[in-house]
Amino acid sequence: MSYEKVGSQTHISIDTDGDATADMLIILDGKYNLDAGDFIL
């Protein structure tokens, strides 16, 4: 899982099968500083 700020959004990329390609993308409207405490896995 990784995230990056893109324009006015925050993109969270999730790789579920370990091939280093994002299998899921979550887009948040706004720029956020995220850390491990923001996620429950």
pLDDT confidence of residue 40: 86
Three-state secondary structure of the chain: CEEEEECCEEEEEECCCCCCCCCEEEEEECCCCCCHHHCCC
Q: Which among 35, 11, 8, 32 has a CA at the least distance from the CA of 22?
A: 11
How many angstroms separate the CA atoms of 25 and 8, rounded?
16
Q: Which among 5, 38, 39, 2 has a CA at the least distance from the CA of 29?
A: 5
**What's the pTM?**
0.81
Q: What is the pLDDT of residues 1-41, one digit of tens each?
A: 999 999 999 999 999 999 999 999 999 999 999 998 998 87
